[in-house]
């Protein structure tokens, strides 16, 4: 099958890493010839070149936007009008680029389109104008997770979802979110992301126990783009509360983004000697293997690839009791949930620091669970079944 994969950005964060895993696995089986369309070059195009996966850049615009309102009512009205003008310009830009996308699909003899995110700005137009079957892989809760505004409106988003040949949701939370827009009768296949191949999981398992015999502070890690929704500030506040009880602990925050507020909070709470901000980390494996527990503080996480990465490396997870996180870990078996905010999180962190044996047991169970439920081979097979259902 010649498949065009459309993605919404050029970085190598979770959605694109999952896309790469899928394409490489299906290509290695001889099932798929992938071709990638994306709006700009970046780290993923470097990887595509290295893997000899052809791609083309067509600079479409997003159709979801981050809108922040400040000031008095007249200021907010003016801000809203500005956001609406910008949204109309993006929509016009996408409509002008649609012929180039359609021409590329025809020239590349594409038999199936796989859209890798709800945020791909050209999708609704493709569904109106293109006869090639389109599989829409929804990987996020746009409004609840990232607090985005759907520029064309919820109704238009729901209409577009209903037009897709097949929908894939990465969690039950995403399935429910799709129904919010598209209606209760709309079906989306539940396919959890595969995060590691079975061979990689076995390799990690051979290294995972070293953390429990190594000396050094009990280390918590939170990895992800620095964003209010990801909960870095909550983790810092919880860590400050934890330090009131124990000193030999550390918190590592790994991720790209503006960190000024985090640095200010660390200084304000006086925990600068225990909190490390690494910036973007290309390879998380060494960091995960040197830590003792993973924090997932994101509200309404669609699934949480990094949660599974932590589990695969033998880490117990302390996750916020919301969204797709509820589907990934089992309370008291592979990790712990916390409701509420920093105080509840600090309590769970202290429980693991005070009982390393329990932390290790949880981590070992998490590793076994991840190997069974979230391997790349299973993920690729289930997506392939969706593709085959659309072959004539």
Say which CATH architecture domain 198-373 belongs to: 3-Layer(aba) Sandwich (3.40)
CATH number for the domain whose boundaries are 2-194+376-389: 3.40.50.2000
User: What are the structural domain ranges in the chain?
Assistant: 2-194+376-389, 198-373
Measured in degrees and rounded to the nearest 5, phi and psi for residue 310 equal: -65, -45
Number of H helices, E strands in the chain: 17, 15
pLDDT (tens digit per residue) in 9-29: 999 888 999 999 999 999 999
Per-block mean pLDDT, blocks of 10 residues, the chain (392 long): 97 92 97 98 97 98 93 93 95 97 97 97 96 96 89 95 97 96 96 93 90 92 90 97 96 94 96 95 92 94 93 96 94 95 97 96 96 95 97 76
pLDDT (tens digit per residue) in 273-295: 999 999 988 889 999 999 999 99
Q: How many alpha carbons fall within 13 Å on the CB side of residue 338? A: 24
Query: Could you tell me how far CA 167 lies from the centroid of its own chain?
Result: 17
Domains 2-194+376-389 and 198-373 share a fold: yes
The predicted structure's pLDDT at residue 392: 66
pTM (predicted TM-score): 0.91
**Sign (positive or negative) of CA dihedral 255, 261, 265, 268:** positive
Q: Are 292 and 221 in contact (CB under 8 A)?
A: no
Neighbouring residues of 325: CB distance < 8 A, sequence distance ≥ 6:
296, 298, 301, 304, 307, 319, 337
Q: Are 337 and 329 in contact (CB under 8 A)?
A: yes
């Amino acid at each position: 099958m010649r498949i065009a994969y459309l993605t919404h950005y050029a970085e190598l964060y979770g959605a694109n890493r999952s896309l790469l895993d899928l394409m490489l696995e299906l290509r290695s089986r001889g099932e798929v010839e992938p071709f990638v369309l994306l709006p700009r070059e970046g780290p993923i195009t470097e990887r595509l070149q290295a893997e000899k996966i052809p791609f083309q850049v067509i600079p479409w615009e997003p159709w979801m936007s981050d809108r922040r309102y400040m000031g008095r009512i007249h200021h907010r009205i003016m801000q809203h009008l500005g956001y609406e003008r910008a949204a109309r310009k993006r929509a016009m830009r996408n409509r002008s680029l649609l012929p180039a996308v359609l021409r590329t699909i025809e020239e590349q003899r594409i038999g199936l389109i796989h859209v890798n995110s709800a945020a791909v700005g050209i999708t609704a137009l493709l569904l109106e104008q293109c006869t090639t079957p389109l599989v829409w892989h929804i990987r996020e809760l746009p409004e609840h997770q990232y607090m985005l505004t759907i520029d064309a409106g919820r109704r238009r988003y729901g209409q577009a979802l209903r037009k897709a040949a097949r929908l894939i949701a990465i969690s039950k939370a995403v399935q429910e979110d799709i129904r919010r827009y598209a209606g209760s009768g709309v079906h989306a296949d539940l396919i959890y992301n595969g995060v590691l191949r079975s061979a990689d999981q076995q390799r990690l398992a051979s290294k995972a126990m070293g953390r429990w015999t190594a000396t050094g502070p009990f280390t918590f890690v939170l990895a992800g783009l620095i964003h209010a929704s990801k909960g870095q500030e909550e983790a810092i506040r919880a860590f400050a509360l934890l330090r009131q009880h124990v000193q030999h602990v550390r918190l590592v925050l790994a991720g790209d983004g503006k960190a000024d507020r985090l640095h200010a909070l660390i200084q304000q709470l006086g925990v600068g000697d225990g909190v490390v901000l690494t910036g973007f980390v290309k390879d998380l494996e060494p960091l995960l293997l040197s830590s003792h527990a993973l924090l997932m503080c994101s509200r309404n996480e669609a699934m949480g690839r990094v949660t599974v990465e932590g589990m695969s490396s033998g880490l117990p997870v302390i996750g916020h009791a919301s969204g797709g996180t509820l589907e990934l870990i089992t309370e008291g078996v592979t990790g712990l949930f916390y409701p509420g905010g920093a105080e509840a999180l600090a309590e769970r962190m202290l429980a693991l620091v005070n009982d390393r044996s329990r932390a290790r047991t949880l981590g070992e169970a998490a590793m076994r669970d991840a190997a069974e439920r979230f391997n790349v081979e299973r993920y690729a097979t289930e997506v392939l079944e969706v593709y085959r259902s659309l072959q004539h």
